[in-house]
A and B are shown apart, each in its own frame.
Chain A
Amino acid sequence: MSEKNDSNPNETELDAEHWLQAYEQMVKIRTFEETANELYTSARMPGITHLYIGEEAIAVGVCEALRQDDYITSTHRGHGHCLAKGADLDRMFAELLGKEAGYCRGKGGSMHIADQETGNLGANGIVGGSSGIATGAGMSIRLRGTDQVSVCFFGDGALGQGLLYESMNMAQLWKLPVIYVCENNQYGEYTHNSKAAAGSMIGRATGFGVHAQAIDGQDIRTVHATARLVIERARKGGGPAFLVCNTYRFHGHHVGDIDRPYRTREEEAEWAKRDPLILLENWLLKSKQAEKQVLERIQQEVKTAVDDAVAFAEEASFPSESEVDRHVYA
């Protein structure tokens, strides 16, 4: 099931400089994830990880419409959200490698990166598990009387979780500034959403009276324009919104899911034509907002930064044994 997109790519207020910044963020996520995959396949990274490749336009499109003091909650497929909200490459890689210099001192790993300074309330290993937290952050914003906004990222798999509906119901009852961003990448683990989600996706929100839209999640211009409108609406007290961003997980469910027997190579090839990075590149070039050399320079700079960050992470120390029972209690 892909909800029909109901928003056109609007012209947004971003100027060329900001579009290049968004492009750099997307390249950063793509390169980070490709490198994480290499670290896994070369046995330099413990555990597994879930790659965000193919979905970059959503995290960057939404986060570029947020302020640093706005909140996000993320998912097990969370590297993109963390980076888009402003996390540093070196501490991200250090966390993936279980090092003390990581965002969580090596205690969280890939699925639990949190960074208070950039408003990241944490990636989450429980599907749909952060919808209550994002909504509680919205409640906190209301009670503290600030004009922040809270964004809850989740995948279409979370549409099966009741907590999401309890949360959206309360957000609408109390007009909380929470944006529910459903990254509909078509699969919950290995199961297509046509076998998991009955009826309409946006209908799940409109039933509560929550403003809902299905949009093209591959086109950052669409994502950003839509996100900006609902975020500013929420900031002014207009209440929550629900965005279904239609997208595709270019890799498997996790780095070890390489055969992908549950879907066809033809389907993957169709979606690859709509790679969000290529779409943005093409638009930047066609609209003459950037020269090819500028984009190539950005790619190179990001590659260098990622390589440096991996070197930092690999050289960093593992936590000492005394760290294991620290931070159980505050």
Chain B
Amino acid sequence: MSTLENGAISSPAIHAPGERQITFGQAILEAISEEMARDESVFVIGEDVAAAGSVFKVLVGLLDEFGPERVIDSPISEAGIAGIGVGAAITGMRPIVDIMFGDFTTLVMDQLVNQAAKTHYMSGGKLTVPMVLRTTLGASRRSAAQHSQSLHALFSHIPGLKVALPATPYDAKGLMKSAIRDDNPVVVFEDKMLYQEKGPVPEEEYTLPLGQADVKRTGEDITIIATSSMVYVGLEAAEKLASIGISAELIDPRTTNPLDSDTLIQSAQKTSRALVLDEGYRQYGVTGEIASVIADGAFYYLDAPVKRIGAMNVPVPFSPAMEDLTIPDADYVVETAKTLCG
């Protein structure tokens, strides 16, 4: 655990004065570009990834740097490009398959769940699938039910897949580089609302291990576990809680599979209270697994039940008046934390 004073923000991702500041999107691009320069087996395939630089403009410049052989615009064939990724990965390449909206990952389910995730095991360890599937999550863009979901729980459920959810530019770059170098299929979920978020990212080379949580803020009274953009909601809530005398620790698992259970359990043992915050649907979401891990590992230290906060169990509505109701906000987190600490 961090030895920083309570309430101090411990992660270099959040607080590193004097360092270079770049956006989350730039961090993703840097990671991909550096890995493509480092290893010529890395290539990118997806819809509008080349000439358009992806719909979110994250990959602008990549085509000029590496050419159309390695930055490949595909037809609108999500299952097909995922299959191409699996086949290319088995035969010596390191593909990055770009699925622009996380909602479209439903179209690649067979290729990821039945093919990519199982090939290494079914072949008795002979074949490997070193492939990255980049996609997005998160609501709040007024994009309605088929362009707003956070479906990472579906993939976190599957043995053989790894799932990363970076929250900061620093984490995005380090986790993406590790995902590309990993010999397993890794699904990286990027929150669309974070692409313009700036943060410190060192100039020098670094990677972050998959399966290591990050303490984004230290505290004593309650542990908030938050993923992806919910980290910011959690941090805002922690600030508000501090103003009423409740010291919240915020932990970002950074990957849901593998999950750094030890760090989560140790924090809950220290604070005696835990609240899990994630933008996936609350029912059967990753919050359920994380809450269960904490209940198992910290039961005798807990002063209150572990609480879960997720997206409302409804298809994401279009109207701003309704959409905002479906996503957890800081005030709701504060109210929930207060009941746990009351």
Residues of A bordering B, CB below 8 Å: 71, 73, 102-108, 112, 114-116, 121-122, 124-126, 129-141, 143-144, 150, 162-163, 166-167, 169-170, 173, 326-330
Asked whether, in the complex, the Cβ of B87 is within 8 Å of the Cβ of A121, the reply is yes
Question: Could you show 29 A-B contacts with beta carbons less than 8 Å apart?
Answer: A104-B122, A105-B125, A107-B121, A108-B123, A108-B124, A114-B127, A116-B126, A116-B127, A121-B87, A121-B91, A122-B90, A125-B114, A129-B111, A132-B79, A133-B86, A136-B85, A136-B89, A137-B90, A138-B87, A139-B93, A140-B91, A140-B92, A143-B41, A143-B70, A150-B87, A170-B74, A328-B121, A330-B125, A330-B130
Of chain B, the residue at the smallest CB distance from A138 is: B87
- Residues on B with C-beta less than 8 A from A116 are 123, 126-127
Asked whether, in the complex, the Cβ of B124 is within 8 Å of the Cβ of A132, the reply is no
Asked whether, in the complex, the Cβ of A112 is within 8 Å of the Cβ of B122, the reply is yes
Separation of A133 and B91 alpha carbons in the complex (Å): 10
- Residues on A with C-beta less than 8 A from B61 are none
Q: Which of A71, A102, A136 contacts B84 (CB 8 A)?
A: A136
Of chain A, the residue at the smallest CB distance from B121 is: A327
- What are the interface flags for B125-143 relative to A under an 8 Å C-beta threshold, 1 for contact and 0 otherwise? 1111110000000000000
- Residues on A with C-beta less than 8 A from B183 are 330
Q: Is B77 an interface residue (CB 8 A)?
A: yes
Of chain B, the residue at the smallest CB distance from A150 is: B87
Asked whether, in the complex, the Cβ of B79 is within 8 Å of the Cβ of A136, the reply is no
Asked whether, in the complex, the Cβ of A107 is within 8 Å of the Cβ of B122, the reply is yes
**Knowing A71-B91, A136-B90 touch, does A108 contact B122 (C-beta < 8 A)?**
yes
Asked whether, in the complex, the Cβ of B92 is within 8 Å of the Cβ of A330, the reply is no
Asked whether, in the complex, the Cβ of A143 is within 8 Å of the Cβ of B93, the reply is yes
Asked whether, in the complex, the Cβ of A143 is within 8 Å of the Cβ of B115, the reply is no
A58 vs chain B, min Cβ distance (A): 21
Asked whether, in the complex, the Cβ of A114 is within 8 Å of the Cβ of B87, the reply is no
* Known contacts A134-B87, A139-B45, A170-B80, then 11 further A-B pairs from the complex at CB < 8 Å, ordered by chain A residue: A106-B124, A114-B119, A116-B127, A126-B114, A129-B115, A132-B82, A140-B88, A143-B41, A163-B80, A167-B83, A169-B80
Separation of A144 and B77 alpha carbons in the complex (Å): 23
Q: Which 6 A-B pairs have the closest CB atoms?
A: A132-B83, A136-B87, A166-B80, A105-B124, A133-B87, A166-B77
Separation of A121 and B88 alpha carbons in the complex (Å): 11
Q: Is B159 an interface residue (CB 8 A)?
A: yes
Of chain B, the residue at the smallest CB distance from A95 is: B124
- Residues on A with C-beta less than 8 A from B130 are 330
Asked whether, in the complex, the Cβ of A103 is within 8 Å of the Cβ of B79, the reply is no
- Residues on B with C-beta less than 8 A from A125 are 114
A105 vs chain B, min Cβ distance (A): 3
**Knowing A105-B125, A121-B127, A129-B114 touch, does A144 contact B120 (C-beta < 8 A)?**
no
**Knowing A122-B119, A144-B93, A330-B183 touch, does A136 contact B124 (C-beta < 8 A)?**
no
Separation of A327 and B119 alpha carbons in the complex (Å): 9
